[in-house]
Chain A
Amino acid sequence: MAGRVLYAGLQLLDRQLVDRTGRLCGKVDDLELSEPDENGHRHVAAVLSGPGALLARTGHRRLGDWLRRSVARVFADGDEPVRIPCSRVTEIGNHVTLDVDSEEVATFASERWVRDHVIGHLPGSGIRADQ
């Protein structure tokens, strides 16, 4: 066993996610595993974080899937930013550092929606609604 050893429950689940600018952007709610490769190995394919992901982990998968789809439909224009590919993870330590902006992840979906659809339309907000 040559590589670094990690314990998923101890060192990954519930850890803070930090974006590339150091901004907090959610917690690691679950980990998605890849299909087995030719050697039967499974790898961590993605970090799951955001609405619904934690519900699935606590045994309420159907409710979690419904919440995830609903949030994606309403707030995220159909995207499913709950899933952060492992290739976007740059470091696992006291926290998990991502190579994304916090606005791209699902935790910020509702804030984005409010900014784009409410705050952006207010005079003097300084935000263009189409941004």
Chain B
Amino acid sequence: MRISDLLDRSVVDAAGADVGRVHDVRLVQDGALLGGVMAAPRVDALVVGGGALSVRLGYHRHGVRGPAPLRALFTALERRAVVVPWAQVVLADDGPLRLRCTAAQLPGPEGA
């Protein structure tokens, strides 16, 4: 499996509702050391939805203190973004990715 198999895939929740498309894959380097140098990046979450760019750039609601217009802009964008923990994703060879929960049960971008 490749990262490109995940990017741009549609995501639907457990109720069949459209959640959006995968814009990025969040990795966390907390695995075993590879070659004694670098921790293996683990797939942690999918960044899905229209406001994904602001989350990818780190402009979370609590990350932007000002100026006020930028805070308002990124707060609005972030509302449209969904960060889906990897454990909630059901992989399929083709078609949309399915979630084990509904979109309303997903944690926010900071909490995921």
Contacts and interface: CB of A to CB of B under 8 A. Distances in A.
B64 interface: no
Interface in B43-83: 43-44, 47, 56-57
Interface residues on A, range: 20 to 34
Given A41-B42, A41-B43, A4 B29 contact: yes
Most buried by B among A4, A33, A88: A33
A5 to B, nearest CB: 6
Interface in B3-44: 3-4, 7, 23-31, 34-35, 37-44
Given A8-B24, A43-B43, A92-B38, A3 B30 contact: yes
Contacts of A13: 3
A44 B38 contact: no
A99 B4 CA distance: 24
Contact of A89 (B4, B34, B57): B34
Contact of B86 (A42, A48, A57, A92): A42
Contacts of A33: 1-3, 43
A87 interface: yes
Interface of B: 1-4, 7, 23-31, 34-35, 37-44, 47, 56-57, 86-87
21 contacts: A1-B30, A4-B28, A5-B44, A6-B26, A7-B25, A8-B3, A8-B25, A8-B27, A9-B23, A10-B56, A13-B3, A30-B2, A30-B3, A31-B2, A42-B43, A43-B31, A43-B41, A44-B3, A56-B2, A88-B35, A91-B38
